[in-house]
Amino acid sequence: MAIAQEKRVGVGMDFYEVCGLRRSIRWFDTSKPVERDKIQRILEVVRVATTCPGNLQPWKAVVVEQAKIPKEKRDRLLYADNMQGAHVQAPVWIYWFGDIECARPEIFQARVGALIKAGALPTAYGWSEATMANMVRGDEPAEGLPGVHELLHDMPQETSGQVAYAETVGAAAVGCLAAVNERLGTCLHMVATPSKAQIVSEQLGAPATWIPVWVQLVGYPAEDREGGGQRPKLPFEDIYFEGNAATVFERDPRVVAELEEAGLLRAPAPTPGRFEELKGLAQRFGYPI
Amino acid sequence: MDTELQQHATVRHWISTVDEMFHLSDDEWSERLGVLRDFCATTTTDPDRMIADSRANRDAKNEYMRRLKSFARERYPAPRAAHDAENVVRSFFIHNGARVFVRPYE
């Protein structure tokens, strides 16, 4: 059925429920491969939904299905992540990299130029390709435009790297929501112990300008989708303020109730039966408790 | 339960931290303590000493793990049973802060 005729694709879920269920799943059903179209949908969501300054889009991803790679490659990639259990189990590994070359001033200029032509950055606010070129040269923009000239002019490679890394973290976060939306389990791991990061780049043939950011583990969960409950989160009042950093943003209990109903705010961890579940999982897969 | 083994602080700590989460039965503990007791006998050391050695010295820890593998293979001919016996001792190490490798049964 053409997508135009069917608004809902596949198994998409309600947004609040996706966000409420987003948690690090660490036990995967090793017998069940992930369908390729689900992997593609995750990548497609990240591509269009992730925001980034100047629309830089510095992220790159290498998808690895561990059942399809040579054992030696699999073992090397796992060794780089210290053979962590979740990584051993997950059928799909999405390695997210930040491409330094995509966070250079000339790229910023090109991407912003495309946004201007797309009507996304309005000339009414002062945007034009000429003003963008001036900012890259270091000219201070007029009021109404961001002061990015200080960042872009003579931008060191190191700064490009920091930007590429930070923005790719955002992409991986969107990737996690996209995986939950596919009713898959997912979590983010360090790509490697830092001293072993080069192993991953070599095994995946990543160019030297690609900085490893996260590996997103994906698979059908072997544990309950609640993963034992919503993880401890800092109190709302400790992190949100209004007007200034001293005035707490007042939390409306009515909104809280709506979000509990919508599936965003869920039972906290550990939920009843969680440790029995963990014991069963450990026994099933042969891990100690 | 093995009262002699429980005279060791590391064993008491192990039981306490495991049961904080998993509340194992007396039978389960008897079995686990039996494995630990037998392993300690083969290494001619006691649990507290084994943990102290392992936390102080990576080579000593690796040696205990090598001996654990041999012990499990000899004492438990069925591969899965051997793996599970190793996991009992690994659990003891983990809960006492001695880093050990864990792998699934494959």
CA–CA separation, A191 and A175 (whole Å): 15
Q: Is residue B36 part of a domain?
A: yes
Please state the rounded mean pLDDT for residues B60-83: 96
Residue A273 lies in a domain: no
From residue A36, alpha-carbon distances to A43, A91, A192 in Å are 11, 12, 25
Q: Which domain holds residue A207?
A: 10-104+155-222
Q: Does B87 score more than 80 pLDDT?
A: yes
- pLDDT computed for residue B103 by the predictor: 87
Q: Give residue A248's pLDDT.
A: 98
The answer to whether residue B89 is domain-embedded is: yes
Residue B15 lies in a domain: yes
Work out the burial of residue A213: count CB atoms within 10 Å of its CB; fewer than 13 is exposed, 13-18 middle, 19 or more buried.
buried
Q: Residue range B74-79: average pLDDT?
A: 96
Residue B37 domain boundaries:
5-95
Note the pLDDT tens digit of each residue in A219-228. 999 999 999 9
Taking residues A148-176, report their average pLDDT: 94
Cβ-based contacts under 8 A for chains A and B: 38
Whether the pLDDT of residue A38 is over 90: the answer is yes
Structure token pair of residue A145: 């435009």
CB atoms under 10 Å from CB of A281, counted, come to 17
Residue from the list B18, B104, B105 with its beta carbon closest to the beta carbon of A289: B18
Per-residue confidence (pLDDT) for residue B106, from 0 to 100: 85
Which residue numbers of B have CB closer than 8 Å to A's CBs?
18, 21-23, 80, 83-84, 87-88, 90-91, 94, 101-106
* ipTM beyond cut 0.85: yes
Three-state secondary structure call for residue A10: coil
Evaluate whether residue B38 is within a structural domain: yes
Per the structure, how many domains does chain A have?
A: 2
Calpha distance A62→A69 (Å, rounded): 13
Residues A217 and A124 in one domain: no
Looking up residue A91, the CATH number of its domain turns out to be 3.40.109.10
Q: What is the pLDDT of residues A55-68, one digit of tens each?
A: 999 999 999 999 99
**What's the DSSP call for residue A268?**
B
Would you say the pTM of this structure is higher than 0.95? no
pLDDT in tens, A187-243: 999 999 889 999 999 999 999 999 999 999 999 999 999 999 999 999 999 999 999
Residue B14 in domain: yes
Q: Which of A198, A222, A246 is the last residue of a domain?
A: A222
Report the C-alpha gap between A82 and A90 in whole angstroms.
15
pLDDT confidence of residue A183:
96
Kindly state whether residue A280 falls inside one of the protein's structural domains. no
Q: Compare CB distances from A275 to B21, B104, B105 and report the shortest one's residue.
A: B21
According to DSSP, residue B22 is labeled S
Q: Virtual CA dihedral for A22, A23, A27, A33, nearest 10 degrees?
A: 20
